[in-house]
A and B are shown apart, each in its own frame.
Chain A
Amino acid sequence: MAKNNNSRYALLGLALLGACAAGILSGPVSGAGADILLRLRLPRTLLAAIAGAGLGACGAAMQSVLRNPLADPYIIGTSAGAGLGAVLALGLGLPNPGAGFYAFSFAGAFCATGFAYFMARSGGKTSASALVLAGVMVSSFCGALILFFVIARQRESFSALIFLMGSINEGSPSQLICSGVLLAAGLALLAPQSRRLDALSLGEEKAFYLGVDTEKLKLRILLGTSILACAAVGAAGTVGFIGLAAPHLMRAAFGPANRRLLFVSAAFGAAALMALDAAARTVLAPAEIPAGVLSALCGAPFFLYLLKRRKHEFF
């Protein structure tokens, strides 16, 4: 088993390096000078890496804590909350990218998730299905408000749309630092819980009997995943699919143990988003497609193919 894993780790590492190189070396301007490479493409590639890593790790943790292989970073309302925060910021005249905008989308994401958590809590317990239901409720509510905004205030609707589809901008140092710190914090919160998270993913009762404080664990995990999701959304808007697909693929390659899965999902997510962003900038140059559009386009058929191929041994 370990032998297989070593070659897979090597492949993953290669993918990461390759995607990073693609991010820095490709772009609309051919033969770009060091200026463009270092000050435009490098920060942007790093931002894509941070966002992708956050999405991958968050998705893995969500799928474990909710015992739901269709969970993604946004299932408990995170993306809808972020979108709402974003459109509010735009309505107040705060441009994207900008510190005010980042703060608003972060606050929106965090509050929506917190709200869903408290809605799901009853009698001191939060069941996985209650969390998902609360998340759906929060998402639909925020989603409706976002649509209303886009229709009523047409002047910021393009900015809002770009954010909601998910796209990466050239990245300021403060954006990189903020998202980077949040990514590290989220991973630092989640990694030590990985074994307990494994137990929880096999069943709440089983985990309890093994000695896991399930309510405390869930709170910690949700806090960690919220931080990771906010790091990703602040860097790249609400990019879909990577948080759902990365853990699936990595679980098939490396097994479900979270202490590995969190990190390889992060690595794969980073590679995927870096590669997608490189394509997004280059394919229709000088026009730019939002990376989120590409992730959805590539993700859906790929997922379908996987479903067809591995009917039973998926998880």
Chain B
Amino acid sequence: MNSSRPVLLSAESLSFSYNGHKAIDGVSLELRAGDFLGITGPNGSGKSTLLKLLTGLLKPQEGTAQLCGRPLPGFSAQERAALMGALPPEQETLYGFSVLETALMGRMLAAPWWKDADAASIAEAENALRAVGLGGLEHRPLTSLSSGERQRAFLAQALCVKPKILVLDEPTSHLDLKHSLEIMRLLRGLTDGGLAVAAVLHDLNAVAEHCSGAILLADGRLLSAGAPQEALNSASIESAYGVSAHKGESAWRFSLKS
């Protein structure tokens, strides 16, 4: 059943060093259509670096990354962006574009500069905004939003382009419980529709709950990979994080009401 879904993003023995320190060492992975991959690991284990290698922002010193079967460097910026969207971790925003403008941005890049957005694009953007829970905030400037709302606005921006793959660096880090759950549910729903998602997530429970696959990084190396129940077990978590882990009965479990 798995093998019938096409491999959209793959990495073969990626290695990358900063200033003599090996941030990523021989990491391989495969992302198929419909996968929801959770990338976890302690701070400094190379998660963000891995994402940057997967999206082409960084070039690996060893190994290759492939997008839809072709080597990543062979893609032009526009070709790549049409297939793969990505979100860096949320940062301060300087300029007050409206939420709608922001959502439209990716889509309108190819349009002639003097043309306003057409009705179809606006409709798409509004859909995306509703999906991330920002419906009604279309005309608010980015600078007036909370960091969580901004994060969702940029997610809408990435979704609006309708890519095949979405690579996210901590998409829920600024979100509260409810919004976090909503986003995870949204992403799960999109992967059900064929989107491939790879996301760096800190919450191991969320990974276990929503992701179809997980990888655990430690010191730039792949410690374990596979279905969340297999990849994230007591032994691997203890090894990676240096804390003892066991599944408890008394922990809270959260889910959305509707």
Q: Which 9 pairs of residues, A with B, have the shortest CB-CB distance?
A: A211-B81, A209-B86, A256-B95, A205-B88, A213-B77, A211-B78, A210-B106, A259-B113, A211-B77
The answer for the CA separation of A312 and B77 in the assembled complex, in Å, is 35
Contacting pair A199 B94 (CB below 8 A): no
> Beyond A210-B81, A213-B77, is A313–B144 a contact (Cβ under 8 Å)?
yes
Contacting pair A195 B94 (CB below 8 A): no
Write out the residue numbers on chain A whose beta carbons fall within 8 Å of the beta carbon of B109: 195-196, 199, 210-212
66-108 of chain B: CB within 8 A of chain A: 76-82, 85-88, 91, 93-98, 101-102, 105-106, 108
Write out the residue numbers on chain B whose beta carbons fall within 8 Å of the beta carbon of A61: none
Determine the residue in chain B with the shortest Cβ distance to A261. B95
Contacting pair B94 A69 (CB below 8 A): yes
Determine the residue in chain A with the shortest Cβ distance to B141. A313
Determine the residue in chain B with the shortest Cβ distance to A217. B77
Write out the residue numbers on chain B whose beta carbons fall within 8 Å of the beta carbon of A191: 113
The answer for the CA separation of A64 and B95 in the assembled complex, in Å, is 9
133-157 of chain B: CB within 8 A of chain A: 139, 141-144, 154, 157
B172 at the interface (CB under 8 A from A): no
Write out the residue numbers on chain A whose beta carbons fall within 8 Å of the beta carbon of B97: 198, 202, 255-257
Write out the residue numbers on chain A whose beta carbons fall within 8 Å of the beta carbon of B94: 67, 69, 201-202, 315
Interface of A is mostly: helix
Contacting pair A211 B80 (CB below 8 A): yes
B195 at the interface (CB under 8 A from A): no
The answer for the CA separation of A69 and B87 in the assembled complex, in Å, is 24
Contacting pair B87 A202 (CB below 8 A): no
The answer for the CA separation of A69 and B143 in the assembled complex, in Å, is 14
Q: Mark B161-177, 1 if CB is under 8 A from A, else 0.
A: 10000000000000000
A208 at the interface (CB under 8 A from B): yes
Write out the residue numbers on chain B whose beta carbons fall within 8 Å of the beta carbon of A205: 57, 88
Contacting pair B88 A202 (CB below 8 A): no
Write out the residue numbers on chain B whose beta carbons fall within 8 Å of the beta carbon of A313: 96, 141, 143-144
A194 at the interface (CB under 8 A from B): yes
Determine the residue in chain A with the shortest Cβ distance to B157. A210
A93 at the interface (CB under 8 A from B): no
Name the one of B82, B102, B111 contacting A211, with C-beta atoms under 8 angstroms. B82
B14 at the interface (CB under 8 A from A): no
Contacting pair B96 A256 (CB below 8 A): yes
Q: A256-B96, A313-B143, A315-B95 known; 7 other A-B pairs, CB under 8 Å? A: A194-B113, A198-B97, A209-B85, A211-B79, A211-B106, A251-B95, A256-B97
List residues of chain A with CB under 8 Å of any chain B CB: 1, 64, 67, 69, 191-196, 198-199, 201-203, 205-206, 208-213, 251, 255-257, 259, 312-313, 315
Write out the residue numbers on chain A whose beta carbons fall within 8 Å of the beta carbon of B139: 1
Name the one of B76, B88, B98, B143 contacting A206, with C-beta atoms under 8 angstroms. B88
Write out the residue numbers on chain B whose beta carbons fall within 8 Å of the beta carbon of A193: 113
Residue among B55, B94, B101, B139 having the largest count of chain A Cβ atoms under 10 Å: B94
Q: Show 5 A/B contacts (Cβ-Cβ < 8 Å), sorted by A.
A: A201-B95, A202-B94, A202-B105, A203-B88, A210-B81
The answer for the CA separation of A32 and B4 in the assembled complex, in Å, is 86
A71 to chain B, nearest CB (A): 11
Write out the residue numbers on chain B whose beta carbons fall within 8 Å of the beta carbon of A213: 76-77
The answer for the CA separation of A208 and B142 in the assembled complex, in Å, is 19
B114 at the interface (CB under 8 A from A): yes
Write out the residue numbers on chain B whose beta carbons fall within 8 Å of the beta carbon of A257: 97, 101
Contacting pair A208 B154 (CB below 8 A): no
> Beyond A205-B88, A255-B96, A312-B143, is A210–B114 a contact (Cβ under 8 Å)?
no
Determine the residue in chain B with the shortest Cβ distance to A205. B88
Contacting pair B158 A209 (CB below 8 A): yes
B87 to chain A, nearest CB (A): 7
B100 to chain A, nearest CB (A): 10
The answer for the CA separation of A224 and B55 in the assembled complex, in Å, is 29
The answer for the CA separation of A191 and B139 in the assembled complex, in Å, is 24
Determine the residue in chain A with the shortest Cβ distance to B84. A209
The answer for the CA separation of A293 and B255 in the assembled complex, in Å, is 64
Residue among A64, A196, A205, A255 having the largest count of chain B Cβ atoms under 10 Å: A205
Contacting pair B158 A315 (CB below 8 A): no
Write out the residue numbers on chain B whose beta carbons fall within 8 Å of the beta carbon of A69: 94
Contacting pair B105 A198 (CB below 8 A): yes
Contacting pair B113 A192 (CB below 8 A): yes
